[in-house]
Structure 1
Amino acid sequence: MKYYLAIDIGASSGRHILGWHEDERVKTREIYRFHNGVEHLDGHLVWNIDALLQHVKRGISTALSAVDKVSESSRIASLSIDTWGVDYVLMSGDKEVSPVYAYRDSRTEIVIPKVHALLPFDTLYERTGCQFQSFNSIYQLYADKEGGRLNGVTDFLMIPEYLLYKLCGVKTKEYTNATTTGMINAKTGTFDPFLYETLGLPKELFPSPVQPGRILGEYKGIRCMLGATHDTASAVEGIPMEGNHPYFSSGTWSLLGVKTPR
């Protein structure tokens, strides 16, 4: 029997869920759960990204053991990871630039007026359709620039893409999570050059985002899939609805929206 592993990580907890088809139905089983939360470091709120990765790997091992007990022919065909949006890991080549700041940290407060002096919020909203949140990645990246943290940086990986990279060695930027940066042009679906050029952010940090569904590589014989890595996008896509039906997604915070073709 084929199993599929969903690794769903929120700001307060994470879980590994096995899914499979049985009797013409999709069945699921939670196989591993762990606590997640911000830590305090030098007056800032940060993520313990190393601990997060260890939990991801531990949960995968637990899932493999559970599937092995079912039958010799049972296997996990693929896995994917989703998390909350906006937060990321700066990379210098294959090396992480620490710390990994959490969206609840206050470091963006001082740069928001500077960003809006260059890019008034009306302009940002017109180009991206992204609502104002003080923790959107655009403000975090500008704070990194102001603090000199982008010197020598070659990439930034959103949290789930970073975790997938550590599993299979492939870096990418997935579309749904890229939209949480506040830098995706709503018409082109790509990072808006006008935005990152105006802010003086390095062009090489903003390659074209990749749509969900791509096979990235393997980890312990399991295909690593690029799903909709923003947790809300995955939740909405999993709703069996048609047409322009509204949805209400409630977790760490709540979102109300409508699923449309565009």
Structure 2
Amino acid sequence: MKTLNLLGFDFGASSGRAMLGTFDGEKIEISEVHRFSNDPVELCGRFVWDVPRLFYEMKQALLKISRMNVKVDAIGIDTWGVDFGMLDKAGRLLGLPVHYRDARTTGMPEKVAEVVPTVELFGRTGIANNIFNTLYQLYAMKEEGDPILEMADSMLFMPDLLAYLLTGKKGTEYTIASTSQMLNPYTRDWDKELLEKLGIPTNMLGEVKLPGEVRGTLLPQIAKECGVDEIPVIAVGGHDTASAVAAVPAQSDDFAYISSGTWSLLGAEIKEPLCEEGVMKASYTNEGAVDGSIRLLKNIMGLWIIQECKREWDRRSDAVGFAELVEMAMKAPAFKAMIDVDDVCFLAPGDMPARIQEYCKKTGQEVPQGRGEISRVIYESLALKYRWAIEALETDMLKKPVKVLHIVGGGSKNVLLNRFTAEAIKRPVITGPGEGTVIGNLLIQAKALGAIEDIPQLRKVVEASFPTDTYLPESDGKAWDEAYARYLELFVK
């Protein structure tokens, strides 16, 4: 086969990048073309995404491709979940997409539950009851009387919106739509009856399609401005976690995964959704996978907490890198205190070190002091949360053992957290590739172009192309067992 040059745009909650993948049919090599920060802004009382800036950065990447004199065969885009933009009948963007951390959804889960009980809502959608879900964002707009909701002719999730800005073609990709709490997980289509019951318009919703669709080609004016061809834009796993999970280099089905970054998305792959009340109570969710199956997973607050701590420490004094924070954590005492990383007090930006200290004080624990102790509390607490989530997954949902944990994404490079995780869960932890999301994005493009047959073959390409590291439990586990017992006593009622 001819070598494919593929361009993947991967937008995270705090940064974005464009990566070039060169695929020869057996292995893929990747290189960074462009990297940029993703800086949401407070504007007119709302916390919003700076979409014009993101569009500008995509064009900067295309300009760099032009200068590299590379002929690109396709483009794919993935982003975080739940957030969206709205277009009017003329195809114009109505305002800027609101950030999932904006306060407008405060109280919305309770208001929705008055109309549709929470257990019924989970049974219908299979999606965990997170305050930032698209459903609650739309309900907040309805409650506020937001005119955009009435003016909207189309609602596009972030990867579909960015693809629209490049191509002028609208579309709704399955994996990103599945994060909304508005999809029937059995039919893989909108639950319009649910939305009508809540008074949310449905005319703005597009047909849901699986990844692999050629959405369109670059608009002629964009291609000309950037000096590139009218390149096809392919709908990949638009939800970054879906693309990342596709790139897990597993060759059996007895694994769990974590896509590790700002969030830790921990779960397993299943054929059909699990929408029982016990799954809901464990805060697991049924999101779409790139092949149309289900990613049963739990959203765990990941490296967000340490990122916010670092931001606050850097503001107060000399900046230190994450590697230095890991070194400080290694020297700090073990199990001085612990936190439930998913407590709502850690969700919003702010003075995270102070929040951790206050939380430990409030829960009757010793209060950690300094960067090293606080960092260690975060990493140990994450590992303990992973253990709880895996035990719930295998015992209450899969009804079979999880034999190995694969960690992909940027967080897979954190050696201390990987080591803590292996000790806490008492199973092998295999890490890598660190660029799992964009690799999945690129290889799903290759699959859409006919160069890869299915997901098992895609995973063999990943395994052949990138090294992994394996972490095994090294201690007798007693200290971790004692810490876990304390964790359960403190946080699992």
Q: What's the TM-score once normalised by structure 2's chain length?
A: 0.50
Distance in 2 between the 1:244 and 1:65 partners?
45
Structure 2: any 5+ residue segments left out of the alignment? 224-229, 273-493
Amino acid corresponding to residue 91 of structure 1 in structure 2: L
Cα-Cα RMSD: 1.5
> What is the aligned counterpart of 1:230 among 205, 215, 239?
239
Single out whichever of 11-20 and 186-195 deviates more from structure 2. Answer: 186-195
What amino acid is aligned across from residue 77 of structure 2 in structure 1? Answer: I
- Name the CA shift for 1:201/1:29 in 2 (closer, same or farther; >3 Å): same
Amino acid of the structure 2 residue aligned with 1:178? A
Offset of 1:58 from its aligned partner?
A: 1.1
Tell me, what secondary structure is at the counterpart of 1:151? helix
1:123 is aligned to 2:100: no
Aligned residues: 256
Alignment of 1:130-209 (within 5 A): 130-147=127-144, 148=146, 149-209=148-208
User: 1:129: how far off?
Assistant: 1.1
How far the C-alpha of 1:239 sits from its partner, in A, is 1.6
Structure holding more helix per residue = 2
The letter for the 2-side match of 1:119 is V
Task: Indicate conservation of the 8 Å contact 2:109/2:129, yes or no.
Answer: no
**CA positional deviation for 1:59:** 1.1
SS at match of 1:96: coil
225-234 vs 108-117, greater mean Cα deviation? 108-117
Q: Counterpart of 2:42?
A: 40
**Per-residue CA distance 1:187-229 (angstroms, 9 max, x = gap):** 1111112211111111212333111000111113211001110
Q: Give distance in 2, aligned partners of 1:12 and 1:204.
A: 32
Instruction: Quote the offset at 1:21 in angstroms.
Output: 2.4
Distance 2:173 2:24 in 1: 31
261 and 53 in structure 1: CA distance in 2 versus 1, 3 angstrom threshold: same
Distance 2:46 2:25 in 1: 50
Matched, 1:76 2:72: yes
Deviation, 1:180, is 0.9
- What corresponds to 1:243 in structure 2? 253
Assess if the C-alpha contact under 8 Å between 1:243 and 1:260 holds in 2: no
Q: Distance in 2 between matches of 1:151 and 1:10?
A: 29
The letter for the 1-side match of 2:234 is M
Contact 1:6-1:79 at 8 Å conserved across structures? yes
Aligned pair in 2 of structure 1 residues 197, 58: CA closer, same or farther (>3 Å)?
Answer: same
Q: Quick check: 1:112 aligned with 2:122?
A: no
The one-letter code sitting in structure 2 at the alignment partner of 1:208 is E
Q: Is the 8 A contact 1:244 1:259 kept in 2?
A: no
After superposition, what is the alpha-carbon deviation per residue over 1:58-81, rounded to whole angstroms, capped at 9, x for unaligned? 112212322x1xxxxx51000110
The equivalences for 1:57-76 within 5 A come to 57-66=59-68, 68=69, 74-76=70-72
Which is worse superposed, 2-11 or 90-99? Answer: 90-99
Question: Are the equivalent residues in 1 in contact too, given 2:108–2:131 (CA < 8 A)?
Answer: no
- Selected match of 2:32 from 26, 30, 35: 30
Q: Deviations over 1:106-147 (max 9, x none)?
A: 001133322111112111111111111100000001111222
Question: Does 2:86 align with 1:90?
Answer: yes
CA contact (8 A) 1:164 1:170 kept: yes
Match of 1:71 in 2: none
Is residue 191–residue 207 contact of structure 1 (8 Å, CA) maintained in 2? no
Taking structure 1 as the reference length, the TM-score comes to 0.93
Larger radius of gyration: 2
Shift of 1:244: 4.5
Quote the Cα distance in structure 1 between the aligned partners of 2:63 and 2:4. 16
The answer (yes or no) to whether the contact 1:214–1:226 under 8 Å persists in 2 is: yes
Q: Return the offset for 1:22.
A: 4.8
CA distance in 1, matches of 2:66, 2:81: 28
Consecutive unaligned residues of structure 1, counting only runs of 5 or more, are 69-73
- Structure of higher RCO (CA pairs closer than 8 Å, 6+ residues apart): 1
- Tell me if the contact between 1:216 and 1:226 (Cα under 8 Å) persists in the aligned partners: yes
What is the rounded CA distance, in whole Å, between the counterparts of 1:253 and 1:177 in structure 2? 16
The 1:24/1:181 distance shift into structure 2, 3 A limit, reads closer
